[in-house]
Amino acid sequence: MSVLYTPVQWNRNKFLYDGVLLAGVVAYILVFLQVAPLFVDATRPVDGAILRMRAFGTCAFLMLTLILCIGPLARLDRRFLPLLYNRRHFGVLTCVVAATHALQVLGWYYAFSPTPRLEALLSANTSFGQVLGFPFEVFGIFALLVLTLMAVTSHDFWLSFLTAPVWKALHLLVYPAYAAVVAHMALGYLQDAKNPAFALLAGGGALTVAGLHLAARRRDRAARGAADWVTVGRPAEIADGRARIVSLGGDERVAVFRYDGRLSAVSNACAHQNGPLGEGRIVDGCITCPWHGFQYRPADGCSPAPFTERIPTYRLKLDGDTVLVHRTANPPGTPVEPLAIP
C-alpha cells in the first residue's frame, strides 16, 4: 500500500454532507431532551438517563429509516441522488448513535451488576415463550451487530476485497436489521403501554419505508416495460402494401407491413438467404422477398402451402397515434393478431 494512501477522499460535498448530518443529530438530541419530558406522565417520572437512552435510540431509528428511504426516493426523483452518493457516511454515523444508545442502557441498568454487563443484559429476561415481556433486547443487539459490520466494511477496500456480490449481500442485511429495530421498539413499547409515541414512530417509519420501496418497484417495472417497446412511427408514414424497417439494436431488424387497413411485424431476414423482407411488398396477401420471391403470411410468418419456411413475428401496439413494436421476437411461425389502423 502506498504511503500516499488516503482512507477517505474528502471533498467539499462530503464535508457539507457530514456537517449537516452531525448538526441534525445534535439538534434532534437537544430538542428531544427538552420536549420529551413535557409528555411524560407526571405520576410516573422518567429519569434523565432514560430520556437520553430514548433520545439516542429514536434518533438511530429515524436515521436508519431515512437511509432506507433514500434509495427508493432517488429512483423516483433524481433530485434525491445527492443524498445517495455519501449514504455510507450516513450509515456509519447511525451506527455510532445506536452504539451510544446501547452504552447508555448498559451504563444505567447494569452499572452495579455483579456479573459482566452484557451477560447481565442477556440473562436478565429469558421469557422467549411470550409476547408481553418478551426479551426485546435481543433484537436491538442483532441490529447493532449488523450496523457495526456494515460500518466496518463500508470502505471501497472491502467492496474490492470481498467482491461486489458478497459485499452487496452483506449490506442487504440492513433490511433484517431494520425489521429487528422495529420489533425492538414495538416490543419495548409493550412493556410500558401507557405511551403510544414509540409504537406510532416504529409503525410509521416501517410503513414509510415499505411504501416507498413498493412505489419505486412499480416505477422500475413500468420503466423496464416501456424500454421493451420500440417506436415505429405513425401508420400514415407507412405506404400501403409496403413496410418500415426498424432497428431493435445490434443486427436485429423488424419489418412492419401495412396492408388492408392493418399492420403486422415480422423479422426483416428472409428464411431463404436472409433477403431484406422490408424492402419487398405485399403480393397476393403475402410478404414477398425482393431477392427470390419467397413469400410469408404477415400475420404468422409462415409460407403458404406447400412451402414450409417460417420467420419470427413481433407484437405491435398503438400509443396514441404512434405504433410501437416489442423488441422480443416470437418463435418463427407464431400467429399474432394484426394491429388494426384506426
DSSP string, 121-133: HHHS---TT-STT
The C-alpha cell of 50 is what?
432514560
Model pTM score: 0.67
**Which residue bears the cell 407484437?**
315
Whole-number CA gyration radius for the chain = 32
Query: Which one, of 150, 137, 156, 170, lies nearest residue 94 by Cα?
Result: 150
Q: Contact at 8 Å (CB) between 67 and 87?
A: yes
Query: Which one, of 105, 195, 190, lies nearest residue 141 by Cα?
Result: 105
| Alpha-carbon gap, residue 282 to 174, rounded angstroms | 60
Q: What is the pLDDT of residue 43?
A: 66
| Alpha-carbon gap, residue 320 to 224, rounded angstroms | 20
Per-residue pLDDT of the chain (342 residues; tens, 9 = 90+): 455 545 556 677 888 888 999 999 999 999 999 988 877 766 666 788 888 998 999 999 999 999 999 999 988 888 888 888 888 889 999 999 999 999 998 888 877 778 888 777 777 777 777 777 788 889 999 999 999 999 999 888 888 888 888 988 999 999 999 999 999 888 887 666 566 777 788 888 999 999 999 999 888 777 666 578 899 999 999 999 999 999 987 778 999 999 999 999 999 999 888 889 999 999 999 999 999 899 999 999 999 999 999 999 999 999 888 999 998 899 999 999 999 988
Q: What is the pLDDT of residue 190?
A: 63
Q: Which residues of 247-256 are buried (b: 16+ CB within 10 A; e: fewer)?
A: ebeeeebbbb
Instruction: Give all strands (DSSP E) within the chain, no chain letters.
Output: 229-233, 243-247, 253-259, 262-267, 281-283, 286-288, 295-296, 313-314, 316-319, 322-326, 339-340
**Which residue bears the cell 437511509?**
67
Cα atoms in the 13 Å half-sphere on the side-chain side of 326: 14
- Crossing angle (nearest 10°) for helices 174-190 and 137-152: 150
Which residues, in sequence order, are CB contacts of 201 under 8 Å at separation 6+? 58, 61, 62, 185
Q: What is the pLDDT of residue 1?
A: 46
Q: Contact at 8 Å (CB) between 201 and 58?
A: yes
**244: number of Cβ within 10 Å:** 20
> Residue 24 corresponds to which amino acid?
G
Query: Which one, of 279, 280, 255, 258, lies nearest residue 268 by Cα?
Result: 255
| Alpha-carbon gap, residue 82 to 111, rounded angstroms | 43
Q: Contact at 8 Å (CB) between 241 and 101?
A: no
Chain-centroid distance, C-alpha 204:
20
- Crossing angle (nearest 10°) for helices 137-152 and 164-171: 150
| Alpha-carbon gap, residue 217 to 72, rounded angstroms | 8
